[in-house]
A = this chain, B = another copy of it.
Amino acid sequence: MAIIVQKYGGTSVGTIEKIKGIAERVLRRKSEGNDMVIVVSAMGKTTDHLVKMAYDISPDPDKRELDVLMSTGEEVSMSLLSIALNNIGADAVSFTGQQIGIKTEGSHTKSKIADINENKIIDELQKDKIIIVAGFQGVNEDNEITTLGRGGSDTTAVALAAKLKAQCEIYTDVDGIYTVDPRLYPSARKLEYISYEEMLEMASSGAGVMHSRSIELAQKYNVPVLVALNTGDIPGTIIKEMDNTMENTAITGLAVNNDEAIITLNGVPHDISVVAEIFQSIASKEINIDMISQTFPVNKLVNISFTLPKTELYRASRILDSFKDKLSTFSYEAYENISKLSVVGIGMNSQSGVAARVFNLLAENRIPVSIVTTSEIKISYVISPGDQTKAIEAIAKEFDL
């Protein structure tokens, strides 16, 4: 019998009625002869509500306790889904991360799954049970409750599927992966397939749906992942290894990110040790910077621009202020109002000139670009938000997205 791991996100289990609906669907798949393992997130806005209570008490709540607090949300969902399944004649049983043997490592609120002890799951599947597992949580080697960070339930599902050599199905409130976010470009096409590499670049470039960590894990263990609408009645997108079934187009998708800001450092001495010191100071505060560009030196000084999440702008500014005293020529400017477009496609490997085609398109449409960075299968452009719609339409038409 095939084992199927399904994951239902927060909106999918947001109400009693939705939980009952999921129970019906899970039982149907079970009746078709599949072994079912179901991973659930917390209901609706539960996690946000719990976190808000913690921050109402303390501006800096203890992360160990935050993990304990947040872990309860998934436990409510899992027991309710189990009750719903038992109510319609299924034989279901729910397990916390601790109970099912999800071992984690790393710091609280952003732990990683170190291993899963699959014995308990296999025992219960052999008793013909439907297994419900709390997503997003595990315990570390000290039996402390830990959580896996945003999108952690996806990671739980992929890790279980990898361990059980099972199919993995992620049910969410979007019906698949699109070439462009349909809210920004309504003519976008839904992809039947996307490769792990492309999905990773899309995810890290601002296309939500799934978090990078779960895709990395799927790629590492070669677990095909179906992403589909939680009603289950329309086809979704399958994330899998690149193969011949995929379209051989230059660009698979266009990701748009409006959550980043840009900082430009002016008058930085053209000395690698100074530049390194600045970036190390920022990295030491765990601020992730993304695109970096540097001008040619003039009078032994360079200008450097980089992007970072808007939420980190304040902390980064405090660090840069400390360099003003040390470096007489140094100043910086920050702009919150930017739009980052990333074109992603494995086809770039084999088709030359994609970057040039995009540049030409932007020039024809008189859209100035402030930074460009390229990787093997992705090119990112920072433009003005006012040009965003025009740029999306031009690129989508040119590359048939």
User: A-side interface residues toward B, CB under 8 Å?
Assistant: 16, 19-20, 50, 53-54, 56-62, 64-66, 68-69, 71-72, 75-76, 78-80, 82-84, 86-87, 93-94, 96, 98-99, 143-145
In the complex, are the beta carbons of B99 and A143 less than 8 A apart?
Answer: yes
In the complex, are the beta carbons of B75 and A80 less than 8 A apart?
Answer: no
In the complex, are the beta carbons of B68 and A75 less than 8 A apart?
Answer: yes
Task: Give the top 5 A-B pairs by smallest Cβ distance, nearest first.
Answer: A58-B87, A69-B79, A72-B72, A68-B79, A65-B79
What are 7 pairs between A and B in contact, CB < 8 Å? A53-B76, A57-B80, A61-B87, A65-B93, A69-B76, A69-B79, A72-B75
Oligomeric state, in copies: 2
CB distance from A48 to the nearest CB of B (A): 14
CA distance A64 to B95 in the complex (A): 11
Chain B residue contacts of A58, Cβ below 8 A = 83-84, 86-87
Q: For residue A78, which residue of chain B has the nearest CB? A: B68
Chain B residue contacts of A79, Cβ below 8 A = 54, 65-66, 68-69
Q: Given A16-B56, A57-B20, are A69 and B80 neighbors across the interface (CB < 8 Å)?
A: yes
CA distance A289 to B71 in the complex (A): 41
CA distance A53 to B80 in the complex (A): 8
In the complex, are the beta carbons of A84 and B99 less than 8 A apart?
Answer: no
CB distance from A66 to the nearest CB of B (A): 7
Chain B residue contacts of A83, Cβ below 8 A = 54, 57-58, 61-62, 65-66, 69
Q: For residue A20, which residue of chain B has the nearest CB? A: B57
In the complex, are the beta carbons of B72 and A57 less than 8 A apart?
Answer: no
Chain B residue contacts of A98, Cβ below 8 A = 98
Chain B residue contacts of A87, Cβ below 8 A = 57-61
Q: Given A19-B57, A56-B16, are A68 and B94 neighbors across the interface (CB < 8 Å)?
A: yes
CA distance A68 to B95 in the complex (A): 9
CA distance A367 to B249 in the complex (A): 94
In the complex, are the beta carbons of A75 and B82 less than 8 A apart?
Answer: no
CB distance from A314 to the nearest CB of B (A): 22
Chain B residue contacts of A50, Cβ below 8 A = 76
Residue from the set A58, A65, A76 with the largest chain B CB neighbour count within 10 Å: A65
